[in-house]
Amino acid sequence: MNKRKGKKKGKSKPSIIDDESDLTTSSEVIEEDDDGIFVVRKISGSTSNKPYRCPGCDQVIPMATPHTVAWQEHDQEGRRHWHNICWSKRNMRKPKIERTRNAPRY
């Protein structure tokens, strides 16, 4: 039995990562945008174990909430967590203008 367990561990965590197999086993897709090419991954609520701040609306994405993780193709350091709707509408947003509560909106 011990030999069998050792083999299973080796299969579940390969030492060489095959990029092609990673793409087929995850929910990653490639999206082309005006800003470049993005790798987009949909996260289910069950795998989300800490809160994040959405760069689209600047609100917190609570734990256990389905959301989107996206980054530019060769910049995984720039990975950001977005609300699903904020990611899908990111190109429709106007430049962010910070106003005080009583400022006129025009």
**pLDDT band, residue 97 (cuts 50/70/90):** low
Q: How many domains does one find in the chain?
A: 1
For position 48, what pLDDT does the model report? 82
Flag whether 51 is in a domain. yes
Flag whether 30 is in a domain. yes
Flag whether 2 is in a domain. no
Flag whether 56 is in a domain. yes
Domain ranges, residue 73: 23-91
Flag whether 59 is in a domain. yes
Flag whether 74 is in a domain. yes
Nearest to 57 by CA among 103, 92, 106: 92
Per-residue pLDDT reduced to its tens digit, 39-88 = 999 998 888 889 999 999 999 999 999 999 999 999 999 999 999 999 99
Flag whether 47 is in a domain. yes
Nearest to 79 by CA among 58, 55, 59: 55
pTM, two decimals, is 0.63
The answer to whether residues 40 and 31 touch, using CB atoms and an 8 Å cutoff, is yes
Flag whether 15 is in a domain. no
